[in-house]
Amino acid sequence: MFSPGGSPRTNCQLLYQHIQELTSNDLRKRKTAAERSMIRLGITFNVYGEQEGTERIIPFDILPRIIQGEHWSWISKGLKQRIIALNMFIDDIYHDQKILKDGVIPEHVVRSASSFRPQCVGLNPPHGIWCHITGTDLVRDGDGEFYVLEDNLRCPSGVSYVLQNRQLMKQTFPGLFEAQFVRPVDDYCSQLLDALNYLAPEHIEKPQVAVLSPGIYNSAYFEHSFLAQQMGVELVEGRDLVVRDRRVYARTTKGLRSVDVLYRRIDDDFIDPQAFRKDSMLGVPGIMDAYRAGNVALANAPGTGIADDKVIYAYVPDMIKYYLSEDAILPNVPTFVCWDDKQRDHVIKNIAEMVVKPANESGGYGMLIGPRASKEEHAKFVDLIKANPRNYIAQPTLSLSRAPVIIDDHLEGRHVDLRPFIIYGRDIYVLPGGLTRVALRKGSLVVNSSQGGGSKDTWVV
């Protein structure tokens, strides 16, 4: 919002002037009103293991983050390039594995990935699309450039907060939207439904689409119900579905009704106990047989999580070069893979300066932020890395950009990241803006809502 000299940037001047006209009491009242709306509307998420209750609202800051349109055009172009390459990678891995045979990615890195699913070898998802919905985490470093921090291709969450944050902002600052020419986000659910319909077997004129949720105790249950309601489709759980003759049906009060497309928010491991984890009580027995027969489409396709592995992430620029003969438009954060002896030695030697992450954790769990950690924690992570080097990557600690946040009766800077959402259907659609996540604890770099992070609306102007 502010230039290094402390003056508001050109595209933020209108917002700045508006805030200047408000008293600290006005800001507090608007913030309180927004939080009450979130409670009234049930905009919540669940936190596993919390003693004081499982459900809470995600803290929302009413000052938006503003991204200039020309910057966004470049980001959007880079995200589309990345998604195309990732989709080609997944398809290649479950078919010819040319990228492994050509030595671009070491074969053992893929074979040892916990998200690699041998059961998915030879699968042919509709139209060759595996990653229908992706949330890509971006950070902006001190050099002003956006970097890709992570790719989330399994069940990325957060888009419901983007849509609800926008509605709250329209209530909070109704006069600013038209004057700022903020790009709308309202058609996300329409774009999502179009992409899901596109996956249905061609002979189905009116596909039956549903959102498949693990149930009310899942951390993102609000989002599952919100998206189903906004798209006007059924929200179902595994126990609501049954497979007969390799076709999927929903149990209704009027009997069985066929289901053609499922936006599944259940991980691969739990979606079908006959194909994956046998102890799963969340999935639908036999659904993978129906999927292989082409009688039901699943978004994202099973097996997509291989591109979600943080070690695989390190090779995405190489994928883009290999499949598209292009340089990556959006660079990765420099990343060290600990399976490599030389890189591992570098990480261990410099662990006090590194951010260390396990390959398949999410929500900010299981990671080490070297500069904020104790010597005992450094030693613990050195042992963890040595015990299972394939499972860890490390990145230098970046000077994440900050955005002003209302703290009590004044503004303070807090670190932020950005999760844009991309839908891959007939075309590739990038939602303008995305979820700006805020590390609300002073000095913290952890933006995850499960660890005290909040959110902001993101305006592309």
pLDDT in tens, the chain (461 residues): 777 777 888 778 888 888 888 887 888 888 888 888 887 777 766 665 555 555 677 888 989 999 999 999 999 999 999 999 999 999 999 999 999 999 999 999 999 999 999 999 999 999 999 999 999 999 998 888 999 999 999 989 999 999 999 998 888 887 787 778 899 999 999 999 999 999 998 889 899 999 999 999 888 899 999 999 999 999 999 999 999 999 999 999 999 999 999 999 999 999 999 999 999 999 999 999 999 999 999 999 999 999 999 999 999 999 999 999 999 999 999 999 999 999 999 999 999 999 999 987 766 678 899 998 999 999 999 999 999 999 999 999 887 888 888 887 788 889 999 999 999 999 999 999 899 999 888 878 778 776 678 899 999 99
pLDDT number for residue 54: 58
Alpha-helical (H) ranges within 185-315 are 188-198, 221-231, 268-271, 287-292, 310-313
DSSP state of 140: E
Q: Which CATH class is domain 334-396?
A: alpha beta
Residue 23: other Cβ atoms inside 10 A: 9
For residues 16 and 30, the answer to whether their CB atoms sit within 8 Å is no
- Work out the number of other CB atoms within 10 angstroms of the CB of residue 111: 10
What residue ranges do the domains of the chain occupy?
334-396
Collapse the DSSP code of 445 into the 3-class scheme (helix H, G, I; strand E, B; otherwise coil) and give the result: coil
Whole-number Å distance between alpha carbons of 434 and 453:
16
Burial 410-424 (b: 16+ CB within 10 A, else e): ebeebbbbbbbbbbb
Dmax of the chain from CA atoms? 68
Please work out, in degrees rounded to the nearest 5, the angle formed at the alpha carbon of residue 304 by the alpha carbons of 199 and 234: 45
- pTM comes to 0.92
The predicted structure's pLDDT at residue 34:
83
